[in-house]
Chains A and B, each alone.
Chain A
């Protein structure tokens, strides 16, 4: 029995040692403050204990030499389908889109496939945390904030739910029904849009009635999974991530959120520049879609998608970058780089990959910068992580060093050796 106890202690202390270390010699980019050259970073039990040019070092602590390298907080992708979709054209491997228009009860987190090949591929380029999102219908379900490491989805979970996903109704003449040819008449599309908008309002009203009934404690009250899922939204505890691409949808989403008194985060708002002042005034954050994207309109300036982040920054709107992808999630830093090429200050680009998403998702006490007390989600690089040519040398998630090997590297190594 005592032997067993000793062993257990051994295991525990080994595990502790694993996520306790001193990283020194590197240039540390805390993001929340100025860079620290030849810095020291002490991590204890996965949490940043000290950071500075000189920190008190406990005896016997494991030292990681990182001279000439750079340390940044792990990058955050604020919109992906990581873990929910493997091969986009194979239905059996895609769990993003449920049948039905109102599914607030669906939880992305429980469908995250920890063995997805996309996860190690993505984190190998420095992305340590991602929001993974259901899609489809009007209310698609609950998004999850996950670490890109873990044996199970429970271990990967940072915060779930992190948002309720809503696809704001739009007038759409384009038909997505299989076999459909050509657009449908505008009048028909408009009727359909009005019907969907009405359904959305009614769904919220229904949820409010449910909330009241629950509070009243009526004996006839029956628990309803869909309505239960709406309660944190109505209470303003859970933000609603609203996909609204064009100006009209964005304005309507803002009005809707105000009338319903819900917390709004906009997603893929490509015409946000047309409503930037309003977004600033109402303090509504935006999750940007890819910067490397074609302009929406034929007569938009060729660089409209490239300049959107800079325009929002100038207007004072808070935003975070997202790939809205699985297989392209690893290229997230280059979405930010293109925004820098077209006018976004570099520091802001870096923040929109780290600190700002952490703030938007309400986890800035744990994530988003290199500060005492935050989780040691770190990437060690040989240069600026926004540049393609930079190599990511090491990745830590909550102080655990993460394997950078992945499907692509493995195949590369195998076929490099092919005679």
Chain B
């Protein structure tokens, strides 16, 4: 049945006419800026340039000088999920955000309306080794499976610093209520939890290797018991799962870099990494990436040395940098966040836009599909009425794989109708209540 539905969907996609976007100010991010057109076929960008082929059956979108940029990629958010933290244990790598995706979270639509098309839905930072995370496209209206970014590498969340050690030194909040503290309580302990977990994972991998060897030699062998907690860590060790590490202070950043070198895995994204600018050289040398806020600071001690120049400084020292929102609100104007890296640290327009498009796409391992306007990539496009690095810019339309998922005109024109429907529903509910009220009062 599902296969049949897929076939139907596929044939519908094939049947969709090509789209030509005309008279646009195109910000490709990777190949500069041009005035012209984009040809989209089967959800992919086919041509992009001042002049493109216009197929006779093409649907033409007249952009009228609007700015078109690639869909914004937010590499760290907690929307579209029923739960964020499995904080009862210090190693929770067996849980997965993918199992609890919520495709009806209104935050998806609101983020779309801010030009975001791809996000990583992340486990929280309550523990040293957090849960599995997943990359989705904001295909609003589709079910949880329909949101998944097909082929995006899975992610495992790690966390350093204040958050993972908080449960280790819980104050007694209420008289008479004792809370069992959870190891670790220090930055030393956080690193130790990670190292222990990787040592276990390494031993577990070795068990499987020995088993496979025996089996291949035709010797009798009993397979090891599967360990769902260690499997994701093995995937990190083997480069099949991306390690994203929440961190703030320079010391912990360095500690986790050294740990990754000890166990020979790469960290595509140090997350938040507010003191990254202090150890940018080391981050670059380790080949790690960094995903930061632009100007959040002073909300906790480890954020007291945060500076809005962080992104620019790390870029200048050769780190692959992105911006992330971590917030359903902030993610609605990541273009304005990018503009701050021009103000603070003097990045160029393309460098600033890369922080919210191609760079996060690279950190998520999906840069072959999204993050720039180039032939062969997904037609994930955002239309702005002005240059997106202006604070006055408004998102007018958002397209994912050639399909419009947000249209401001349509949104506005439907408001009165939705308001009327809501009113009617409330009225009906009230009527029903009136009818049922006397009945309810009668004793049972």
Query: Is A334 within 8 A of B308, CB to CB?
Result: no
Q: What per-residue 1/0 map shows which CB atoms of B267-301 lie under 8 Å from chain A?
A: 00000000001101100000000000001111111
Query: Is A388 within 8 A of B278, CB to CB?
Result: no
Measured between beta carbons, the chain A residues less than 8 angstroms from B309 are 408-409, 411-412
Residue B177, interface by CB 8 Å: yes
Residue B46, interface by CB 8 Å: no
Nearest to B406 among chain A residues (CB) is A302
Residue A152, interface by CB 8 Å: no
Choose from A179, A292, A331, A389 the contact partner of B342 (Cβ within 8 Å): A389
Residue A65, interface by CB 8 Å: no
On whether A294 and B109 interact (CB within 8 A), knowing A87-B300, A88-B299, A389-B342, the answer reads no
Query: Is A387 within 8 A of B390, CB to CB?
Result: yes
Residue A146, interface by CB 8 Å: no
On whether A327 and B299 interact (CB within 8 A), knowing A299-B422, A415-B277, A415-B278, the answer reads yes
Residue B313, interface by CB 8 Å: yes
Q: How far is the CB of B133 from chain A (nearest CB, A)?
A: 23
Measured between beta carbons, the chain A residues less than 8 angstroms from B394 are 341-342
Q: Which of B317-345 contact A (CB under 8 A)?
A: 328-329, 332-333, 336, 339-340, 342-345
Choose from A178, A326, A416 the contact partner of B298 (Cβ within 8 Å): A326
Query: Is B278 within 8 A of A389, CB to CB?
Result: no
Measured between beta carbons, the chain A residues less than 8 angstroms from B106 are 298-299
Query: Is A337 within 8 A of B392, CB to CB?
Result: yes
Residue A258, interface by CB 8 Å: no
Nearest to A116 among chain B residues (CB) is B298
Query: Is B390 within 8 A of A294, CB to CB?
Result: no
Measured between beta carbons, the chain A residues less than 8 angstroms from B307 are 407-408, 411-412
Q: What per-residue 1/0 map shows which CB atoms of A370-404 lie under 8 Å from chain B?
A: 00000000000000001111110000000000000
Measured between beta carbons, the chain B residues less than 8 angstroms from A412 are 277, 307, 309, 313, 344-345
Q: Which of B370-393 contact A (CB under 8 A)?
A: 389-393
Query: Is A338 within 8 A of B333, CB to CB?
Result: yes
Q: How far is the CB of B171 from chain A (nearest CB, A)?
A: 9
Query: Is A87 within 8 A of B329, CB to CB?
Result: no
Choose from A179, A302, A340 the contact partner of B177 (Cβ within 8 Å): A179
User: Interface size on A (CB < 8 Å)?
Assistant: 43
Dominant secondary structure of chain A at its interface with chain B: loop
On whether A293 and B299 interact (CB within 8 A), knowing A302-B411, A303-B113, the answer reads no
Q: How far is the CA of A408 from the CA of B308 in the complex (A)?
A: 7
Measured between beta carbons, the chain A residues less than 8 angstroms from B344 are 408, 412
Q: How far is the CA of A341 from the CA of B408 in the complex (A)?
A: 13
Measured between beta carbons, the chain B residues less than 8 angstroms from A340 are 391-392
Measured between beta carbons, the chain B residues less than 8 angstroms from A88 are 298-300
Residue B33, interface by CB 8 Å: no
Choose from B278, B298, B301 the contact partner of A118 (Cβ within 8 Å): B298
Residue A90, interface by CB 8 Å: yes
Query: Is A389 within 8 A of B339, CB to CB?
Result: yes
Query: Is B393 within 8 A of A341, CB to CB?
Result: yes
Query: Is B328 within 8 A of A294, CB to CB?
Result: yes
Q: Which among A326, A408, A409 has the greatest number of chain B C-beta atoms within 10 A?
A: A408
Nearest to A303 among chain B residues (CB) is B113
Residue A301, interface by CB 8 Å: yes
Query: Is A327 within 8 A of B301, CB to CB?
Result: no
Known pairs A88-B298, A388-B339, A389-B390. 14 more at Cβ < 8 A?
A118-B298, A292-B333, A294-B328, A302-B109, A327-B296, A388-B340, A388-B342, A388-B343, A408-B308, A408-B309, A409-B309, A411-B277, A412-B277, A412-B309
Residues of chain B having any CB pair with chain A under 8 Å:
106, 109-110, 113, 173-174, 177, 277-278, 280-281, 295-301, 303-305, 307-309, 313, 316, 328-329, 332-333, 336, 339-340, 342-345, 389-394, 411, 415, 418, 422
Offer 26 A-B interface pairs, CB within 8 angstroms, sorted by A. A87-B298, A88-B300, A178-B174, A179-B173, A292-B329, A293-B329, A294-B110, A294-B329, A295-B110, A302-B109, A302-B113, A302-B411, A327-B296, A327-B297, A334-B391, A337-B391, A341-B391, A341-B392, A387-B390, A387-B392, A408-B297, A408-B307, A408-B308, A408-B309, A411-B277, A411-B305
The 4 closest A-B CB pairs, nearest first, are: A337-B391, A412-B309, A388-B339, A89-B300
Residues of chain A having any CB pair with chain B under 8 Å:
86-90, 117-118, 178-179, 292-295, 298-299, 301-303, 326-328, 330-331, 334, 337-338, 340-342, 386-391, 407-409, 411-412, 415-416, 418
